[in-house]
Structure 1
Amino acid sequence: MTEDRPAVRTEADGDVWRITLDRPESGNALTPAMATELAAAFGEIPEHTRVVLLLAEGPRFCVGGDVRSFADADDPSAFVGQLAHDWHEVIRAVLHCPVPVVAGVQGAVAGAGVGLMGACDLVICARTTKIRPAYGAIGFSPDGGTSWALARALGAPRALDLMLTNGALTAAEAHLTGLVARLVEDDELRATTEQVAREIAAGPVRAMVRTRALVRRAATRTLEEQLDDEAQLIAESAADPEGREGVRAFVEKRAPDFRNAR
């Protein structure tokens, strides 16, 4: 890879904002440049965007941090700590993205790549994908939200088993536990992910963002707290042009046009 080649590509395709990790020769390993460029990509989402589509070039989605750069650092603690800080800004950008985030993952997902995948709203996974935290193999503890994503999907005992034994999940296991939403054949990944992104873009994206907030908070809220939140957010949805369009379309027995609901 040349020094001036971007690590991340972006493209507006209608109302889909496509972000592509583009260091395939390194397995899209995380570097300071990639963290900076990925944060910028989420910060530059065009106003008309209705969904973000996160993809990766090459046979591997993201193998985690660039371990060679850790070894070459004069001060590994400072270097890794700063990289984790920068990467966490990326994870926050994904979590708080103003529109839904759909990801297509393939090949290998390891280390910080697991946290990135776990922060997305809907993950479509190629059948031969392997997911491995891998931190224990180099004597590190997790970062990038990896411990959060795994504990949330697997529960603490299974997440610890995976991380303490340097284990791996198959795509089928990740799907069964809910770490990924859909499982498809490898050669169908790109087309399926694109199709799902367009389906979501045609829907009520502001209601989807409210739904995302409810689902994420559900695990740490009581039912009483969740009911209060649901009442508030459904009222906001009813007042939103999307909600008004959806109700009108139902009454008029036609397909809703959420894209033009203002």
Structure 2
Amino acid sequence: MTSSATTRRVSTARDGDVWVVTLDRPEAGNAIDLALADALVRALDDRPADTRTVLLLGAGPRFCVGGDVQGMAAADDRAAFIGALADRWHDVVRRVVGCPVPVVAGVQGAVAGAGIGLVGACDLVVAARATKFRPAYGAIGLSPDGGSSWALARTLGAPRALELMLTNGTLGAADAHLFGLVGRLVDDEALTTAATELAHQVAAGPVRAMVRTRGLVRRAATTTLDAQLDEEARLIVESAGDPESAEGIAAFVGKRPPGFA
């Protein structure tokens, strides 16, 4: 990696074309407090414009245990505290969903609460086989936030999502992969390497076409076929006028690997 920095609970580093953002509060399981949420917003906003993929990781044995329950317990006005934290975390999720380049996540150990919403906002997710996913809100008498209900409902379907959330259940990595919450499983010790390799693979591709594809896939479940066809037609024309397409077609015809930029 060519450069790195740490900004209060989140570390960043540039690894070639990949902007690596790491939740860096391992002593607390990367629990989300306002400082971590603020730092993650800044880290995403500070992505160098010429990087082509974001890689999201969590330091330590757990990716993210969700909101900082200790902070909630200590707050004088608990509702105001939780409301402010949810609002700021939603800024994070919106930035991930709307990121101008693809976002890859590598997760391990525990992914709980609002951490599930963060994972669900990413484009590609690699999970260590021992990872456990747990909504956890019911255990402390809260309803979901952070996009976790959205992520679980769209991947598991409403019946399974409700079963998991209303019983305070746990989803293993194998089932998370089967149902589509994560795209790839790897051995625990291989997680960082596998996620990094995937991020570089994505960075070498036509990232602007990938972002258009991301939008089409996310909207597909909530639009009509006619509307989807119209949007596909609009975006493929947009892609055809992009230098990525010129390079891809020239490489195909010339029987050489493409060099997207």
C-alpha distance in 2, partners of 1:177/1:161? 14
Aligned-residue CA RMSD in angstroms?
0.9
Do residues 186 (structure 1) and 171 (structure 2) align?
A: no
Partners of 2:106 and 2:191 within 8 A in 1: yes
Read off the aligned partner of 2:31 and give its amino acid letter.
A
Partner of 1:243: 245
Read off the aligned partner of 1:107 and give its amino acid letter.
G
Read off the aligned partner of 2:180 and give its amino acid letter.
G
Partner of 1:258: 260
Partner of 1:155: 157
C-alpha distance in 2, partners of 1:165/1:56? 27
Read off the aligned partner of 1:252 and give its amino acid letter.
G
DSSP-derived class of the 2:130 partner: coil
Partner of 2:177: 175
Match of 2:17 among 9, 15, 30: 15
TM-score (norm 1): 0.97
DSSP-derived class of the 2:177 partner: helix
Deviations 1:236-259 (A, max 9, x none): 111000011101111111111102
C-alpha distance in 1, partners of 2:49/2:34? 27
1:44 is displaced (CA, Å) by: 0.8
Match of 2:89 among 73, 87, 90: 87
C-alpha distance in 2, partners of 1:67/1:56? 18
Superposed, 1:1-80 pairs within 5 Å as: 6-80=8-82
DSSP-derived class of the 1:172 partner: helix
C-alpha distance in 2, partners of 1:68/1:197? 34
- Unpaired runs of at least 5, structure 2: 1-5
Deviations 1:59-88 (A, max 9, x none): 000000110110100000100000000000
Read off the aligned partner of 2:122 and give its amino acid letter.
C
Partner of 1:211: 213
1:94 is displaced (CA, Å) by: 0.2
Deviations 1:214-245 (A, max 9, x none): 00000001111111011110111110000111
Do residues 129 (structure 1) and 145 (structure 2) align?
A: no
Read off the aligned partner of 1:211 and give its amino acid letter.
T
Q: How many pairs align?
A: 256
Partner of 2:3: none
Do residues 117 (structure 1) and 119 (structure 2) align?
A: yes
Partner of 1:233: 235
Partners of 2:32 and 2:66 within 8 A in 1: yes
Deviations 1:143-182 (A, max 9, x none): 0000000000010111001000000100000000000000
C-alpha distance in 2, partners of 1:256/1:223? 32
1:47 is displaced (CA, Å) by: 1.1
C-alpha distance in 1, partners of 2:49/2:96? 16
C-alpha distance in 1, partners of 2:97/2:49? 18
Read off the aligned partner of 1:37 and give its amino acid letter.
A
1:13 is displaced (CA, Å) by: 1.3
C-alpha distance in 2, partners of 1:110/1:144? 11
Partner of 1:139: 141
DSSP-derived class of the 2:49 partner: coil
- Unpaired runs of at least 5, structure 1: none
Match of 2:222 among 208, 220, 223: 220
Partners of 2:126 and 2:182 within 8 A in 1: yes
Partners of 2:7 and 2:39 within 8 A in 1: no
Read off the aligned partner of 2:60 and give its amino acid letter.
G
Deviations 1:83-114 (A, max 9, x none): 00000000000000000000000000000100
1:6 is displaced (CA, Å) by: 1.9
1:5 is displaced (CA, Å) by: 7.0
